[in-house]
Amino acid sequence: MKKYTNTGSKDTRSGFGDGLTELGKTNPNVVALCADLTGSLKMNAFKDNHPERFFQIGIAEANMIGIAAGMTIGGKIPFTGTFANFSTGRVYDQIRQSVAYSDKNVKICASHAGITLGEDGATHQILEDIGLMKMLPGMTVINTCDYNQTKAATLAIADHHGPVYLRFGRPKVANFTPADQKFEIGKAVQLTEGTDVTIIATGHLVWEALQAAETLEAAGISAEVINIHTIKPLDEEAILASVAKTGCVVTAEEHNFLGGLGESVSRTLAVHHPTPQEFVATQDTFGESGTPAQLMEKYGLNAAAIVKAAEKVIGRK
Amino acid sequence: MSDNKSLENLVTQVRRDILRMVHKVNSGHPGGSLGCAEFLVTLYNDIMKLNDGFDMDGKNEDVFFLSNGHISPVIYSVLARRGYFPVDELNTFRLLDSRLQGHPTTHEGLPGIRIASGSLGQGMSVALGAALTKKLNGDDNLVYSLHGDGELQEGQNWEAIMYAAGNKVDNIIATIDYNQKQIDGATDDVLPLGSLSAKFEAFGWEVLEIKDGNNIQAIKDGMAAAKAKTGHGKPVVVLLHTEMGNGVDFMMNTHAWHGKAPNDEQLESALAQNPVTLGDY
């Protein structure tokens, strides 16, 4: 099995910040809007280099989404930045009417997604955002796995015309994908080849899935790991090709099992190739305060949980 | 500049369009539409600087955003009569497969519409965004917007109003359709707005009033005064006092026709009160 190396843990939000900084230099139409969380979203460099294209909106997320929608009229490409909770649930109707239904070229960039925001607790965490965004017609939904991929995705979505939800996190996670990768929206990345089980993961659980695959290999189980960075549109072809070989699936995500990646995968399988599936995800619950590692452990979002799910799903074949 | 008589005739035709559109499908919002007929006819045919044809980006022309999307009949009629799309298409209002959705949308590509509206309170933010882009593009033209007064009960407006003044967005003229009525009754009974002029002034806006928002000359004068206030570091708002249901005696002085269609007999009576036709669709 191909091994992956952590080349140095970094936060995915810095991938966004660095991607945005690069866009500032290369794409004069890119503008950035922030709702009083410039530092948290790592938007400082863009702000410092391009003050005329940086818009501090204040603690007013609904207004930020509306302004972003309006700024597309005249050719700007707005990137909004705030926490995932305030990027989605708080402004769902604004995104629905002014962005998605109006087909505006707005990039909603959301940090601190999931429970690994940690100590701030459930008010600031969100485990429903993938579901909220993927239900909107025309919305592209991306959840990146590490720093390099987040940077690549940030660059890629500027060239994609249409509304995009880009989701990333707060803590430092393993950085293992290539720095020079080509990010193709909607194209899954197969990381390992296997024959016994397919592990489909998104976000930083992709790294956990790779760790799980190594553990499984040691136990004589061959796991195929697929990185689904784009939840919508979903790369159904890659998923179906893999399950045709393995016959069972584990999905892994830092999101509620309702509405997330797992549900998208199960729909694809139900329609095209009914297959046993286990869900590594939160079980319809809010989060709580704690360190990211504690929360990952308590809510079953780590390599150990993926191993357990794989063993279980293989037994259901 | 268009003469007032030809604008008045156009207003009468727009009223006829509104009434017939809403009557045909037995749904829609005639009250607020009729109240804003003079304003939108004058805006599109006398006040705004517009390019020929329609371009979504609206570069180097004035742009308008309708925030209170339920008065779609009036904007559809005004846009069609201005040549943005065939007048005949008014016949499809609220019907299956139509570009003239119950509330305006860009989704079906209707020329003249740049954003969906209907869920209230979002238009001010959108107008600000377009105004900021005009500044970035070095485009000196203006952004106009129209909002219901009841719509100001939505909190997002006040986020936008605060932002506009705080950031000197002075290339926007927001207009409030100040008819003091909403679906459930008088705004004072549903949720009082207090003094809108005091509120906007406190937020740092230039506030102008048009006392008779159903009078073309008053609209021309008031909007010219508003335009003169732009470009001086402050956003501009116009409190446009209108009469809901204006031009149809039994629809005036009540909120009852906010979202109700006339029956056959009522339509006949309403059209008889607006006899000048430039050619019904």
CA distance A150 to chain B (A): 27
> What are the helix (H) ranges across chain A?
12-26, 44-49, 61-71, 84-87, 92-94, 129-134, 147-158, 205-218, 236-246, 261-272, 292-298, 303-315
> Which of A172, A170, A166 minimizes the C-alpha distance to A202?
A166
Cβ within 8 Å of residue B229, ≥6 positions away: B206, B208, B236
Place of tokens 């207003």: B11
Chain A contact present for B261, CB below 8 A: no
Digitized pLDDT (tens) for each residue of chain B, 281 residues in all:
689 999 999 999 999 999 999 999 999 999 999 999 999 999 999 999 999 999 999 999 999 999 999 999 999 999 999 999 999 999 999 999 999 999 999 977 999 999 999 999 999 999 999 999 999 999 999 999 999 999 999 999 999 999 999 999 999 999 999 999 999 999 999 999 999 999 999 999 999 999 999 999 999 999 999 999 999 999 999 999 999 999 999 999 899 999 999 999 999 999 999 999 999 99
Q: Which pLDDT score is estimated for A204?
A: 97
Catalytic residue among A61, A208, A236, A254: A61
From chain B, the residues in CB contact with A74 under 8 A are 57-59, 130, 133-134, 136-137, 139
- Are B129 and A70 within 8 A, CB to CB? yes
DSSP per residue, A182-214: ---TT--EE----SSEEEEE-TTHHHHHHHHHH
Roughly what angle, to the nearest 10 degrees, separates helices A303-315 and A205-218?
60
Q: Quick check: is A61 catalytic?
A: yes
- Are B118 and A74 within 8 A, CB to CB? no
Chain A residue with CA closest to B117: the answer is A97
Rounded Cα gap, residues B136 and A28, in angstroms: 10
Chain B contact present for A134, CB below 8 A: no
Q: Which pLDDT score is estimated for B107?
A: 77
Q: Strand runs (DSSP E) across B79-235, as ranges?
A: 143-148, 172-178, 181-182, 185-186, 206-210
Confirm whether pTM is higher than 0.90.
Answer: yes
From chain B, the residues in CB contact with A55 under 8 A are 132
Note the Cα A183 to chain centre separation in Å. 13
Chain B contact present for A80, CB below 8 A: no
Considering only CB atoms, B122 lies closest to which of A31, A66, A75, namely: A66
Rounded Cα gap, residues A35 and A33, in angstroms: 7
> Which of A165, A186, A184, A203 minimizes the C-alpha distance to A296?
A203
From chain B, the residues in CB contact with A36 under 8 A are none
From chain A, the residues in CB contact with B106 under 8 A are 101-103
Rounded Cα gap, residues A306 and A294, in angstroms: 16
**A137 residue type, one letter:** P
Cβ within 8 Å of residue A46, ≥6 positions away: A17, A20, A21, A23, A24, A32, A53, A54
Query: Which of B68, B144, B154, B159 should one mutate to test binding to chain A, selecting the residue with the greatest count of A CBs within 10 A?
Result: B159
Q: Which pLDDT score is estimated for B1?
A: 63
- Are B56 and A73 within 8 A, CB to CB? yes
CA distance B122 to chain A (A): 6
Chain B contact present for A70, CB below 8 A: yes
From chain B, the residues in CB contact with A97 under 8 A are 116-119, 122
Question: In this structure, what are the phi and psi dihedrals at residue B132, rounded to the nearest 5 degrees?
Answer: -65, -40
Interface predicted TM-score (ipTM):
0.97
First vs last Cα of chain A: how many Å apart? Answer: 23
**Burial track B196-218 (b if 16+ CB lie within 10 A, e otherwise):** bbebbeebebbbbbbeebbbbeb
Chain A contact present for B4, CB below 8 A: no
Considering only CB atoms, B128 lies closest to which of A67, A94, A102, namely: A67
Q: Strand runs (DSSP E) across chain B, as ranges?
A: 63-66, 143-148, 172-178, 181-182, 185-186, 206-210, 236-241
Question: In this structure, what are the phi and psi dihedrals at residue B99, rounded to the nearest 5 degrees?
Answer: -80, -15
Query: Which of B67, B126, B144 should one mutate to test binding to chain A, selecting the residue with the greatest count of A CBs within 10 A?
Result: B126
Q: Exposed, middle or buried by CB within 10 Å (0-12, 13-18, 19+), for B195?
A: exposed
Chain B, residues 119-138, CB within 8 A of chain A, namely 119, 121-134, 136-137
pLDDT tens sequence across B9-52: 999 999 999 999 999 999 999 999 999 999 999 999 999 999 99
Chain A contact present for B114, CB below 8 A: yes
CA distance B211 to chain A (A): 30
Rounded Cα gap, residues B11 and B41, in angstroms: 6
- Are A66 and B156 within 8 A, CB to CB? yes
> Which of A84, A286, A303, A113 minimizes the C-alpha distance to A201?
A303
Chain A contact present for B159, CB below 8 A: yes
- Are B126 and A97 within 8 A, CB to CB? no
Ranges of chain A with pLDDT below 70: none
Q: How far is CA A269 from CA A193, A225, A240, A256, B217, in A?
A: 20, 17, 7, 19, 66
- Are A57 and B63 within 8 A, CB to CB? no
Q: Is A28 helix (H, G, I), strand (E, B) or coil?
A: coil
